[in-house]
A and B are shown apart, each in its own frame.
Chain A
Amino acid sequence: MTDAISIKNLNKYFGEIQALKNINLTIKEGSLTALCGENGAGKSTLLSVIAGLQSASSGTLSVFDETVRNGRSPNGLGMVHQHFSLVPLLTVSENILLGDEPARYGFFSRHRAREIVYQLCQTAGTTIDPDAYIENLSLGEQQRVELLKALHRGKKILLLDEPTAVLAPHEIDRFLTLLATLKTRGFTLVLVSHKLKEIVSVCDRAVVLRDGEIVADLTPSSETIQMLATAMIGDHHLSSFTFQKDSPAASETLLEVRQLSVAPNVFSRCGLNNVSFEIKSGQILGIAGVDGNGQQDLFFTLTGAQPSSQGRVVFCQQEVTHASSEKRRKIGMRMIPADRQREALLNHFNLYENLYLGNEHLFSIKTEHRSQFASDMIKQWNIHPRDANFVVNAMSGGNQQKLLFARELHQNQKFFIVHDPTRGIDFATRQRLWQALSQLVSTGAAILLISSDLEELFALCTHLAVLYRGRLSPVFPINQINETTLGRLISGIGTEA
């Protein structure tokens, strides 16, 4: 067998940050390889460098022994993205043949289109109705259409970015069978996945990335599954951050969530299923899990931005199940969402104005005092640039996040919901933000920390629970859970599929 993909000494920088460090990797033709690792480990970056969507900073990439020029898309290689690129109002055959339509007397020939799609289905060992409209198909079927589209274009190598993330359980099995069939027909497949179970069931090789480096390269099997889990998570003793997790003895319950359910919806397909937990003052409850398992639903339901379909939320002895965000803020809830630009910042407004959002009471004081407050905040949090008129859009992510922390933390409120606070944030700022969160708790506040970063969770939390497909695991005190158990819970091993 020849090498389908071969990568030598590949590096990729984003500004100062090195996303991929000296990657050397060869993938054999006709193999099914999984790229796995935590969020931000560099899997997707590697995939898009191979697909030619991003150019490498240095190193060489060859596909079928042909060197690919940096940033070009290699011939015979197709990528299926997490978000499909299909036209919803066209049929399956029209989508597959888009740009290459079979014609008869200059008109689109439905008959021939159908035949082509049937042939493709045979090659792939699957079935699909060529005349169905995309908008009526399930996500699993749409994914099959994407695959057939790539096959029709003569692609021999398929790159799949988290293909099962959007699929329902029964669709996943069918999809995995399809992958296995494609492999036996000589196609080369590379997929990004977090889910150990899937990797073990179909892949014949697993390459684990952490912090942009390949840290493990093994054959997945039930014997090596533990090795895989630990390789993905890594050891967390590197952190210089220490936090004494002694919670005050007499603590009151701040937030109580009972059987909270959210129907799967258009915003996030997962929803929540009977989630119950409570947080006392002085606690940091970490919610671990891979993105897309209901984290967004949990965040927005608890902050009042999205309605719940069932269950109760009691906050500070007050029923807030149906309360607006405004009401929740008034009684002492503060929130830091994961996507700060979309959910939290006024991107075209300046630094000062962004500090006023949610602190509108500042408008009842004199203008000078108001700007004094803002400049104090900027000094206290060491936000750069110091220029008050600087537009937030042009600030770095770390400084935007510090701004957001300054805004939310300054009143020393009782309860904070924080979602992925340090994603994509450099080491020093990360330590600073962690410090701030741990200080809050020592003054009697409580934090719900939803995070996909295990290092962060172990560094900060007093309690941990895992969200998997909208269900919450039991809450463990941090000293009663180890990384292996956590890894299993996150990947859904030991729970029903």
Chain B
Amino acid sequence: MSKILQFVLTLLCVGIVLNVCAMIVGVSPSSVYRQLYATLHSSYGCSQIAFKATPIILIALGACVSFRTGLWNIGFEGQLVIASLATGIVGGYLPSNLPGSAGILILLLVACSAGAAWALIAGLLKTYFSAPEVMTTIMLNFIAMAISSWMMQHFATSESNHTIDLAPQFRFSTFAPWIKGSQLNTIFLMAIALTFVLHWFLFRTKTGFSFLAYGENPRAATLYGTSKTRTILLVFLVSGILCGIAACHYVLGSKGFHEDGFSGGVGFVGLAAALVAFNRPLLCIASGILFGALAYASLAINVLIPKEVTDVLTAATMIVILMLANGDQKRS
């Protein structure tokens, strides 16, 4: 099936689901479309989509690298939570006379190392105890969330349920005046750049090739000189670092602090986005934006259609895409 046909069919199916949903809740579909068009047809709407897409793209990239290497890492949510928690806590205590760029650099490092450290737990368990990463990463997600709630009892300010607000110089500024009001920040550009970097890394470098080879046939790859330990640890390291950057999107970008439940399950949406992108880094931009658009659209039509229904829409979209792409997930 041609890619264009697939795309058209997907849109069609999403349309049908949306119409059915609208009719079930007793709203005319045309008013839903009008509302959608009105909200999305503005520079603010577009930048909000990009804003929503940013962490999804980053996590989808991590998932691409993991899945391509044959590692079923489901632990992005946990890595994200730990990275955000660490950044929020450290950020709150940074001396306010520290220059902005130094602070941002420190916080980026904190976020990436916290995310990577958390990811490496599953990596080490896999390499040294052969513990299946699907299970360990899922469990580590729960542990991470529990750690976050527990730590928040100590680090949340008394008048709020989040960590101390970052000093303004440590926050990313919105990067253009024409997207007034949107929280879109520098991390979006970073995510796009990283997409190309990871594409180059996977398909043009020695280590990238050994990742792909390991994912395709681990027995052959190890027999022909790929180190299993190094490969697995590196993959988890990369996914942890990407989660760290995604955490900065929240802590340094939109919110300015860490709080429980900040991500809204973006660590899982990113997995879906990677699958929809057939584990190709470059397609992650498109699938990230698709999921970002769905998330933002559901806010936009929230007046007309309840959130539960738009969740159905997101899930249905994914099912349709995976259905149409059946058997296409291997390299073409």
Contacts and interface: CB of A to CB of B under 8 A. Distances in A.
5 contacts: A329-B224, A347-B216, A347-B217, A357-B221, A358-B225
B225 A343 contact: no
Contacts of B205: 363
Interface string A296-332: 0000000101000000000000000000111001100
A357 B224 contact: yes
Given A343-B219, A347-B217, A360-B209, A325 B204 contact: no
B161 interface: no
A335 B223 CA distance: 8
B52 to A, nearest CB: 34
Given A356-B209, A363-B205, A363-B209, A325 B220 contact: no
A480 interface: no
B277 interface: no
Interface string B210-228: 1011001101111111110
A387 to B, nearest CB: 15
Contacts of A324: 227
A344 interface: yes
A326 B225 contact: yes
A126 to B, nearest CB: 39
A360 B225 CA distance: 9
A367 B206 CA distance: 12
Interface string A336-360: 0100001111111100010011101
Contacts of B331: 348-349
B213 A346 contact: yes
Interface of A: 303, 305, 324-326, 329-330, 335, 337, 342-349, 353, 356-358, 360-361, 363-364, 367
A358 B216 contact: no
Interface residues of B, number: 20
B223 A344 contact: yes
Contact of A305 (B209, B212, B222): B222
B242 to A, nearest CB: 23
A345 B220 contact: yes
Contacts of A360: 206, 209-210, 225
Contacts of A347: 216-217
A217 B223 CA distance: 44
Nearest to B224: A358
A344 B206 contact: no
B206 A346 contact: no
A325 B225 contact: yes
B330 interface: yes
Contact of A357 (B204, B213, B227, B330): B213
Contacts of B213: 346, 349, 357
Which of A343, A345, A346: most chain B Cβ within 10 A? Answer: A346
B330 A363 contact: no
A345 B217 CA distance: 7
A171 B280 CA distance: 54
B200 to A, nearest CB: 11
A352 to B, nearest CB: 11
